[in-house]
Amino acid sequence: MSVPADQSVPTLATGCRWATPEADDDQGERTVLFPEGAIKVQGPGRRILEECDGKRTFLEIVSTLERQYNVAEAGRIRVDAANFLEQLHDKRIVDY
């Protein structure tokens, strides 16, 4: 288990992808398909994962999220995003 470093570049792991838009529901959930199954993500988890495009660093992603969710207490977004990505990394859904 390892949290992403500031300069790591999170992305969906090989074999993982977003489902087609038709497969997503109308309540703001999106589905990520991976070799062992699928997960639905919504809310902040969805925003975190959508930012993981393989181009931006973890620090850039956190900065973007902090601007979007400016009411969160300082440092909380970084901790929550790191924990969320760590869980997906452990399940081999995200690489960084």
Domain containing 62: what range?
11-91
Strand partners, 37: 34
Would residue 3 count as lying in a domain?
no
Q: Total structural domains in the chain? A: 1
Whether the pTM exceeds 0.85: the reply is yes
pLDDT number for residue 70:
82
pLDDT number for residue 27:
64
Residue 24 belongs to a domain with what CATH number?
1.10.10.1150
12-47 pLDDT, tens digit per residue, is: 999 999 998 765 566 678 999 999 999 999 999 999
Beta strands in the chain (DSSP E): 11-12, 17-18, 30-34, 37-41, 94-95
Distance CA 34, CA 89 (A): 12
